[in-house]
Amino acid sequence: MQPLLECKNVSFAYHGIDGETQALSELSFSLKDGEFAAVVGPSGCGKSTLLSLLCRLEEPEYGEIYLHGKPLCEHTEFHIGYMPQRDQLFEWRSILKNVMLGPEIRRCADGEHLEFVEHLMREYGLWEFRNKRPGELSGGMRQRAALIRTLALQPELLLLDEPFSALDYQTRLNVSEDIYRIIKREHKTALLVTHDISEAVCMADKVLVLSARPARLVMEVPIRIEMKERTPMKTRNTPEFKDYFNRIWKELNPDVGKKEQEI
């Protein structure tokens, strides 16, 4: 089956007056329809840059990105949803007005989109808060609202850039349960950037491990956990979880074990 997304030997550098910052180097991977991949890598390695290329804020210098087998640059209309680190909800708008921002900007805030957004808000416990302002909602509800806003235009591919990093640990666990459930139930293909290995293992179907800058793909780890109705929390409690975690942790921290042996 043709992958939904394919990156082939993608390289990218930022050029400034101080010189060049090589951010990505010959990065290749693909994502199947409905697949959930997580990207982990050291801070500053190029993870957000990868998302910028996928939503065409930047263009690759070398290599090619394909969506449904066609180069991304040849798509005139492509639906990629991007959820940033902070929820970026506007305080002066109600939750419903925040969530309808995408359709409003595209001038398609019509019955069909409103109906879809209402369905999502009812399904995921936000409908009764539709007239509240973002400041009146908990951190978890705000993240759910931000995700529904991203889903409002029915994107084929969902990009999430460290969406839980501003939340405290407890909220983070709960929100990752909610977001996982929404993404799976709505059958979305998603790429989640995170610096948290446990979050990556418990949510994703596969984890892409990147090297320090410039980011190269050093390992692709399929997460195979046999269970009925998998959830992040249930995954955390499996024996496989620890094995996957350790494998990825060692790849990202190759010198730590060596130092311990030297001591």
Where on the chain is the footprint of ligand ADP (CB under 6 A)? 14, 16, 21, 23, 41, 43-49, 213
Q: Using CA of residue 180, residue 184, residue 186, residue 189, what is the dihedral sign?
A: positive
Q: CB of 77: closest distance to ligand ADP in angstroms? A: 26
In a 13 Å sphere around the CA of 42, the CA atoms on its Cβ side amount to 16
113 versus 216: smaller Cβ distance to ligand ADP: 216
In the chain, the largest separation of any two C-alpha atoms, in whole Å, equals: 67
Strand order in the sheet with 5-16: 19-31, 5-16, 62-67, 70-71
38 versus 117: smaller Cβ distance to ligand ADP: 38
Q: What is the DSSP letter of 62?
A: E
Q: CB of 108: closest distance to ligand ADP in angstroms? A: 31
23 versus 65: smaller Cβ distance to Mg ion: 23
Strand partners, 262: none
* Alpha carbon distances (Å) from 95 to 106, 109, 111, 156, 192: 18, 15, 18, 23, 24
Size of the site for Mg ion (CB under 5 A): 1
50 versus 153: smaller Cβ distance to ligand ADP: 50
Query: Which position's Cβ is nearest Mg ion?
Result: 48
Q: DSSP characters for 6-32?
A: EEEEEEEEEEETTEEEEEEEEEEEEE-
Length, in residues, of the chain: 263
Q: CB of 54: closest distance to Mg ion in angstroms? A: 13
Q: Is 21 in the site for Mg ion (CB under 5 A)?
A: no
Q: Is 52 in the site for Mg ion (CB under 5 A)?
A: no
Q: CB of 213: closest distance to ligand ADP in angstroms? A: 5
Query: What is the C-alpha to C-alpha distance for residues 29 and 44, in angstroms, rounded to an integer?
Result: 20
60 versus 134: smaller Cβ distance to ligand ADP: 60
Q: Is 48 in the site for Mg ion (CB under 5 A)?
A: yes
Select the binding partner of residue 49 from ligand ADP, Mg ion, none (C-beta < 5 to 8 A, by kind). ligand ADP
Select the binding partner of residue 23 from ligand ADP, Mg ion, none (C-beta < 5 to 8 A, by kind). ligand ADP
What residue ranges bind Mg ion (CB under 5 A)? 48
